[in-house]
Structure 1
Amino acid sequence: MRVLLRLFAVLVLLGGCSVTPEKDTGTVTFRLWDEQVARAYEESFAAFTKQNPGITVTVEVVPWADYWTKLATDIGSGTAPDVLWTNTSNFGLYADNGALLPIEDPQRAGWTPSVVDLYTRGGKLWGVPQLWDTIALYYNKDLVAKAGVDPADLTWNPAGTGDTFLPAARALTTGNVYGFNASLDNQGVLWDFVGSNGGAWQDGDAFVFADRPKTVEAVRYLVDLIGEEHVAPPAADTTTNGDKTLQLFTQGRLALFQSGPYHLRAIHEGASFPWGIAPMLAGPAGRVSVVHGVAAAASAATRNRDATGQVLRWLGSAEGVRPIAEGGYAFPGVTAAEPAFTAYWKKQGVDLRPFLDAARGTTFPAPVGPRAGAGTTAAGSVLEQVFLGQLGVEEGLRRAQSAANDAIEE
């Protein structure tokens, strides 16, 4: 009876596929791009194999810089891993092309709803949520105390009315210290400013940011923090080094650093001063955080669907993702495992409530669509010129939008 129940669970998980059940044996390959989180998966799969002795899971780490190029090549040649990490910008292409297996699982009620929504396309779910992040405001306690700034109560406004953030950023910018990490950081800064001003980045799969006045207004405010107000590091530094603002913060040269929980470890290990986490900046539309998540997807070319289904079901369980949470790596995609992550950081003296509050509030989706990644890359090369002051905001956004939409049509 237990074998029959297990087999039924696998068929439900891979319900979109017509398959002939195989024995619960074999090797399943699992690919991701993060070496640190790979350690958590090694621990997770060791526990999995104890419960499923006929299945071995091999973890492959492919660096982010090569990840999507290699995946495209492997999918084209039929050598893709059985299970793979994917993000919102890239899964749509493979889902639409039939390279992924749709997922139906009774456990999904226990998965983070926002991540489930991100990976739902065409009425089907294409990945098992693994981790998620939102945005909050890291702050240097010494610097904000010296300037008399309350980081938990900062509002920006392009019209100037009720803007408490800009005066605070000015007060915090002294000597070789900058007030805020205004930069072309899509997830941590740019899209959050757009959302907090009531703007939009996409309509369906199409990019529409240049056509939305609230988006243009938000980008202009952000760019002016760099070029006009000088309360943020020069764009020449931050566009060539994506880690520059993180480095400045851990060096004590940046007072306010708006970003996600993915930088918790770097700040905890690198900062020699007391720091805390406050709610992200509020705009005219309130606090609107980008929500993003990573999911585990199944390759349609897997030669062992039964074992792959068992692995996916494990990854959709609290037990499967608990090492990610207990190791302090990320908020897990299974809500039952979430307390383990907050408990880890509580032991380090870090309160994660601002991230949790952001997730429960109004959120702004990361770009989606079959070629959202290509569109975002194309737009980024033009937006760099905007942040550098080489192109005006309105003209630059028009050019960036055109480049993005051309890229998704190729």
Structure 2
Amino acid sequence: MAFGTRVRAIAVVALTVALAACSPSSDSSSSEPSEALTADTGATTVTFRLWDEVAAPAYEESFDAFMAQHPDIKVQVEVVPWADYWERLPLDLQSGDMADVFWTNTSNFGRYADNGNLIDVGAALGSDHDEWTESVVALYERDGTLWGVPQLWDSIALYYNKDLVDAAGVDPTTLTWAPGGDPAAGDTLLAAAQALTTDSAGLRPTDEGFNKDSRATFGFNAQADLQAIYLDWLGSAGAIFQDEDGAFAFASPEGVAAFQYLVDMVNTWYVAPSAADTNTNGDITRDLFLQGKLALFQSGPYNLKTIADNATFEWGLAPMVAGPEGRVSVVHGVAAVGNADTENMSATVDVLKWLGSVEGQSALASRGIAFPGVVDAQQAFVDYWNERGVDVQVFIDAANGSTIPAPVGPNVNAGANEITPILQEMFLGTLPVAEALEQAQEAGNAAME
């Protein structure tokens, strides 16, 4: 399964990323693209493709403003659902049916850049544009060339159930993990998670008679979730996921310490849901949080709307859990790229310029869909949530702090397909951590060769 920005279509997680900057994906089919020149107006038609039906109306609003300023260009929005998106993309590029501008993510753009399918954005747009989020820009640079215009981004923070943390006397803003859960090394997360985990009799994991098979509440969402959990854990341990050449490099002593802590939360300390559940339904921890059965839920802004709309208790946002190297968040983003084979190069470049402007991204921000890639458009997103009593500053702080790169490379998805089942077995407790990481790294790298 492909790495991607977090969308509800990639709910079973392991190595899928919602990597998450946008709302639930669409299951609707795409509209048919128009001819390059519309017969009624003579305007040049530029097609724009994405996979998210919730973001699509914001883009339509944005392009209405664009077309008012550029009456000689008509922009048509196509939605292709995530389930079909990546299968159709190479076929449509080959047949000449691909949109002029389209969404991509970090794990997929590399092969198309290498194949000459994409417009060199750096050359086409130059440096005279509104400021873009630098961490997202870096994700779409390859061999010294920028290939995408940042659209959406997300980072990681900690959602918490205020009733549960208050009752347990836990401060969610200062949580830190250390190898082995050693308090002498500064660990506060394990004790907090134990205080927040109870069985049906109200006993905690540290109490005699605690029944792990009848847990009523869980402390923390330790699971095989790359974006929200283990990439961040690797970074905060001082480990890396990929080296400078794109090879997987997580089977280091620091990587083992990071994963061992997460696996122990599930299988030794019993403060996280079973991997038998989370391996097959990555959203189960979000659902447990909404049911009041999970106290601490580390995740991204891609879950803001769902939680805000459905939580029946008081909740809040705190900084993500820190580790030996402090707080280290993955920052992932979606970019808009241009089709190098477009028949309407000038108009396509004009659309790309619009998509990289404050005005072009204001609809995405003001509707609260995602943090926009244009820095000066981000306040509208902040204001949207402030009006609803939610302070999203923790996500901005995470993005501006220490970060770990999202998965990149033209063949990284092939590696992901090999890594996923091995890491799932590790989280189940059926493979020792060090052995599993060595196996996964070797198999993943072999698949990327």
Q: CA deviation at 1:360?
A: 1.1
| Corresponding residue number in structure 2 for 1:226 | 266
Q: Distance in 1 between matches of 2:93 and 2:307?
A: 37
| Corresponding residue number in structure 1 for 2:401 | 361
Q: Distance in 1 between matches of 2:132 and 2:165?
A: 37
| Corresponding residue number in structure 2 for 1:206 | 247
Q: Distance in 2 between matches of 1:373 and 1:109?
A: 32
Would you say 1:343 and 2:367 are equivalent positions?
A: no
Would you say 1:118 and 2:158 are equivalent positions?
A: no
Would you say 1:166 and 2:166 are equivalent positions?
A: no
| Corresponding residue number in structure 2 for 1:18 | none
Would you say 1:381 and 2:421 are equivalent positions?
A: yes
User: What amino acid is the match of 1:117?
Assistant: A
Write out aligned runs for 1:156-195 (5 A): 156-159=177-180, 160=182, 161-175=185-199, 176-195=216-235
Q: CA deviation at 1:109?
A: 5.8
Q: Distance in 2 between matches of 1:369 and 1:140?
A: 38
Q: 1:99 aligns with which of 117, 126, 145?
A: 117
Q: Distance in 2 between matches of 1:82 and 1:384?
A: 38
Q: CA deviation at 1:53?
A: 1.3
| Corresponding residue number in structure 1 for 2:104 | 86
Contact 1:44–1:320 under 8 Å retained in 2: yes
Rate the CA distance shift 1:107–1:404 in 2: closer, same or farther, 3 A. Answer: farther
Residue-by-residue CA offset, 1:347-386 (whole Å, 9 max, x unaligned): 0000011111111110011111111222223211221111
Give the secondary structure class of the aligned counterpart of 2:307. helix
The normalised TM-score by structure 1 is 0.92
Would you say 1:322 and 2:357 are equivalent positions?
A: no
Give the secondary structure class of the aligned counterpart of 2:108. helix
Gaps of 5+ in 2: 1-41, 200-215
Q: CA deviation at 1:76?
A: 2.5
The normalised TM-score by structure 2 is 0.84
| Corresponding residue number in structure 1 for 2:63 | 45
User: What amino acid is the match of 1:395?
Assistant: E
Q: List 4+ stretches of structure 1 deviating above 2 A.
A: 104-109
Contact 1:107–1:317 under 8 Å retained in 2: no
Give the secondary structure class of the aligned counterpart of 1:255. strand
Q: CA deviation at 1:107?
A: 3.9
Q: Distance in 1 between matches of 2:348 and 2:322?
A: 43
User: What amino acid is the match of 1:52?
Assistant: H
Q: Distance in 2 between matches of 1:374 and 1:320?
A: 34
User: What amino acid is the match of 1:43?
Assistant: E
Q: CA deviation at 1:38?
A: 1.0
Contact 2:130–2:357 under 8 Å retained in 1: no
Q: Distance in 2 between matches of 1:254 and 1:92?
A: 38
Q: CA deviation at 1:213?
A: 1.0
Write out aligned runs for 1:237-386 (5 A): 237-386=277-426
Would you say 1:127 and 2:168 are equivalent positions?
A: no
Q: CA deviation at 1:407?
A: 2.0
Contact 1:25–1:307 under 8 Å retained in 2: no
User: What amino acid is the match of 1:304?
Assistant: N
- Equivalent residues, number: 385
Give the secondary structure class of the aligned counterpart of 2:354. helix
Q: CA deviation at 1:388?
A: 1.2
User: What amino acid is the match of 1:82?
Assistant: D
Residue-by-residue CA offset, 1:146-175 (whole Å, 9 max, x unaligned): 000000010100041211000000000113
Q: CA deviation at 1:243?
A: 1.0
Residue-by-residue CA offset, 1:284-320 (whole Å, 9 max, x unaligned): 0000000111100011121111111111000000000
